[in-house]
């Protein structure tokens, strides 16, 4: 029997839409009212802005009522069938075997009303395949569990061994196993150790807003005073952005738990906006271990999982599996999800370190040149102070070189990159989609190259996936062949795991 959305979906969705259209109607009416009166088209006693605001608002509510009436769905044993569309009727049939994630979100208001939004993603999708806004909390859980059990049954019937009578073995009821729970102390620490670069956009709002109030106090001041004030304001802005980032992380990951139900990983998180999602283990593409500089100092790390689909509340196609944990505990948990062994890395070619030194030295020289032009043409500034960056160039180049590497543990390809925000990608052999050997004109000059191992992860297009950067030309060739051979072995095309394996590998660094 077909089901419908919750009746509260009409006022919740329609209310917000009606308010926005009412404001637009009011502005539009105010703009055209005087010209229409001048042409004697509109009577002077009619408040056109108010009329358009009411009409637009009622139109939005009417549209939501029609949408509620025509939107129906039915969960069958093998498909999820939907009918929708006010102006254009649309009928969809989503095979449950292709469902990737069933995610549930609830704002603080929605939790008080007992409703939730359910989003369904399919394998390989870059957007939400089906969205239910809104259904009751009980119905949301019924959809989550119903899709999970039916999907598991379909997969077991496809792959499970048959008994003597040829009947597939039934799938036992799965029990929830808690893998990780973020306690309050770790949540506060995670919030303080994390920094969200998106919060820097706030500065583009604060600076223009405060400039008119600050300008009268700094006019006529000397250069030393201006630099001191500028440095103080910069530190104050950085502190404010850091605190806002910490607050955003705190409310976003409050009450984070990760559980395993059957062959699915389920997570819950959020204070104001509650996320409840699932990650099928057989859809995991890449394990990503991330550590910024502060996390490494305190021996902490975070874990995220890249899947083949898109998930609401996810960042760049990744689901945060463990926001913060001790590195040793996190690696143990990561191996519980993917059974990779010890992580050992080969570092980039020695030529790469010299390349980084030259690149940073050129960058410092360019900054000095720009500062000198500003000092001569606009206003005097101590441009010569930038010279102090030159002694830091070899140190920065060495750190960049040290924190890059790659390795081939049994069954996996691993890469590591980044100093400020170091990421370690762990890719199972059978998840490899594309192997790219790229060499820029500058890399060819140093006889080095980069090998990119791409998967079906939607986050791979943003993060560029696992990359072995700046390795010797010959090593890049053999690495590409090794990865290709491992992929073919994982598919069963090759039977010899050592076919085309490279020899005389350099020393590795254990992680």
Per-residue pLDDT tens digits for 302-319 = 998 887 754 444 544 455
Residue 381 three-state SS: coil
For residue 445, CA distances in Å to 354, 359, 362, 442, 471 come to 12, 13, 17, 5, 13
By percentage, how much of the chain surpasses pLDDT 70? 79
pLDDT at residue number 396: 93
The H or E element spanning position 79 is strand 79-84
Q: What is the mean pLDDT of residues 331-335?
A: 90
Q: What is the C-alpha to C-alpha distance for residues 162 and 256, in angstroms, rounded to an integer?
A: 40
Domain residue limits, the chain:
3-70, 184-252, 350-398
CB 256 within 8 A of CB 267: yes
Q: Is the pLDDT of residue 218 over 70?
A: no
Per-residue buried b or exposed e for 222-238, using 16+ beta carbons within 10 Å of the residue's own CB: eeeeeeeeeeeeeeebe
pLDDT at residue number 261: 82
For residue 344, CA distances in Å to 302, 303, 341, 410 come to 19, 18, 9, 11
pLDDT at residue number 500: 47
* Residue 156 neighbours by CB under 8 Å, 6+ apart: 168, 169, 171
Q: What is the mean pLDDT of residues 242-261?
A: 88
β-bridge partners, 436: 452
pLDDT band at 392; cut points 50, 70, 90: very high
- 452-485 pLDDT, tens digit per residue, is 998 877 454 334 678 999 999 888 889 888 888 8
Specify the range with the lowest mean pLDDT, choosing from 3-7, 139-143, 258-262: 258-262
Q: What is the C-alpha to C-alpha distance for residues 98 and 130, in angstroms, rounded to an integer?
A: 13
The H or E element spanning position 329 is helix 327-337
- 21-72 pLDDT, tens digit per residue, is 888 888 887 777 777 666 766 566 667 778 888 888 888 899 889 989 989 9
| Average predicted confidence (pLDDT) for the chain | 81
Q: In terms of Cα–Cα distance, which of 117, 116, 121 is closest to 102?
A: 121
pLDDT at residue number 232: 78
**Helix segments in 73-171, DSSP class H:** 108-113, 137-159
């Amino acid at each position: 029997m077909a089901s419908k959305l919750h009746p509260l979906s009409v006022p919740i969705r329609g209310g917000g839409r009606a308010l926005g259209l009412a404001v637009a109607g009011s502005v539009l009416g105010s703009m055209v009212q005087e010209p229409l009166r001048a042409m004697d088209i509109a009577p002077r006693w009619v408040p056109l802005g108010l009329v358009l605001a009411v009409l637009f608002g009622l139109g939005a509510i009417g549209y939501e009522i029609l949408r509620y009436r025509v939107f129906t769905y039915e969960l069958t044993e093998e498909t999820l069938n939907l009918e929708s569309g006010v102006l254009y009727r649309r009928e969809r049939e989503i095979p449950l075997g292709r469902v990737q994630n069933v995610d549930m979100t609830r704002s603080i208001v929605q939790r008080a009303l007992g409703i939730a939004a359910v989003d369904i993603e399919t394998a390989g999708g870059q957007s939400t395949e089906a969205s239910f806004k809104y259904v009751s909390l009980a119905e949301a859980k019924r959809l989550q569990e119903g899709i999970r059990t039916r999907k598991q049954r379909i997969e077991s019937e496809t792959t499970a061994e048959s008994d003597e009578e040829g009947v597939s073995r039934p799938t036992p009821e799965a029990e929830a196993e808690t893998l990780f729970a973020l306690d309050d102390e770790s949540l506060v620490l995670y919030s303080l150790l994390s920094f969200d670069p998106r919060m820097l956009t706030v500065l583009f709002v604060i600076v223009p807003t405060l400039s008119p109030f600050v300008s009268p106090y700094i006019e006529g001041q000397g250069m030393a005073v201006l630099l001191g004030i500028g440095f103080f304001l910069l530190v104050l802005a950085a502190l404010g952005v850091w605190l806002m980032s910490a607050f955003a992380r705190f409310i976003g990951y409050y009450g984070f738990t990760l559980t395993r139900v059957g062959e699915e990983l389920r997570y819950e998180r959020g204070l104001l906006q509650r996320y409840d999602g699932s990650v099928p283990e057989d859809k995991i593409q890449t394990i990503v271990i991330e550590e910024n500089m502060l996390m490494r100092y305190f021996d902490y790390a975070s874990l995220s999982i890249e899947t083949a689909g898109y998930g609401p509340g996810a960042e760049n196609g990744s689901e945060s599996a463990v926001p913060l944990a001790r590195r040793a505990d996190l690696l143990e948990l990561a191996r519980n999800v993917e059974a990779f062994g010890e992580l050992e890395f080969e570092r980039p070619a020695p030529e790469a370190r010299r390349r980084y030194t030259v690149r940073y030295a050129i960058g410092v020289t360019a900054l000095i040149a720009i500062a000198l032009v500003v000092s001569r043409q606009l206003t005097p500034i101590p441009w010569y102070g930038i010279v102090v960056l030159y002694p830091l160039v070899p140190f920065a180049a060495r750190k960049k070189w040290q924190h890059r590497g790659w390795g081939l543990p049994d069954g996996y390809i691993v890469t590591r990159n980044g100093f400020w925000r170091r990421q370690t990608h762990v890719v199972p052999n059978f998840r490899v989609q594309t192997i790219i050997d790229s060499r820029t004109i500058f890399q060819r000059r140093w006889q080095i190259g980069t090998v990119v191992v791409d998967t079906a992860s939607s986050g791979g297009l943003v993060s560029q996936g696992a990359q072995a950067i700046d390795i010797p030309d010959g090593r890049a060739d053999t690495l590409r062949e090794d990865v290709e051979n491992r992929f073919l072995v994982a598919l069963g095309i090759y039977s010899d795991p050592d076919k085309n394996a490279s020899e005389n590998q350099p020393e590795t660094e254990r992680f």
